[in-house]
Amino acid sequence: MFVKVCGLSTPESVQAAADAGADAVGFVLTASPREVTPAQALDLLSHVPAGVQAVGVFRHEPVDQAIGLARQAGLEWIQLHGERTALDVKTAHDAGMKVIRAVTMSAAPDAFTNRGEELLLIDAAVPGSGEAWDYASVLAKGLGDRVWLLAGGLDPLNVASAAKEAGAPGVDVSSGVESSRGVKDLAKVTAFVRAAKG
C-alpha cells in the first residue's frame, strides 16, 4: 500500500509521517489553509528522509508555473489538480518532474484514462469536503492494474476498509489527520499510516 500524507507544513509533521512509514509527503504550493511558500517547502524537504517522495501540490496553476515553483522548492514530484492533458504531463516529464494527476469522481470518463502520469489520484466529487463517499464506485472506472491513489474523506478509522472496497493500491490523506483545518495531529498521522499499511 502506497501512502501519501498531504498538506504538511511543519518539520514535526514530516517526521511523524516518515517515521510511521509514509511513502510520500505533500506540500501545498497553491492557495489553501495548508499553503506553504517554496522557501518553506525547501526547508521542510531537508526533513524528508531518503526513500520518501516529496510532492508539490498545485490546483489551477499552468504546468510551467507549477514546474517553476516546484523547482524553487527543490521538489521532483508535482501533483496537478484540475483538467490536465497528456501534453501537460509530457511538459512536466520533459522538465525532469514526476507527476501525480488528480481527478474527481465526477470528472468525465476520459479523465480516468492514462495520460502518462506516474500516479492517478482519485478524489471525492467535492474535493476537500472531508466527507466519506462511495469508495467502491471507483471499481466501475476500469483502472485495471494501474497504480493510483484513493483520496477524500479518509481517516485512521476508515482507510483500511475504504482501500479494500475500492481495490486501491494507494491512499492519500490531508484533512483526515488534522486537529483543526490545516493543523496536523501527529498521533492521527501515525495511526493513519499504520492502519493503511496494516
What are the catalytic residues?
6, 123
State the amino acid at position 186 in one-letter form: L
Query: What is the Cα–Cα distance from 101 to 83, expressed in whole angstroms?
Result: 9
Query: What is the Cα–Cα distance from 186 to 72, expressed in whole angstroms?
Result: 27
Report strand pairing: 178-180 vs 183-184.
antiparallel
Residue carrying the nine cell digits 496537478 = 80
Which of 179, 171, 175 shows the shortest CA–CA distance to 196?
Answer: 171
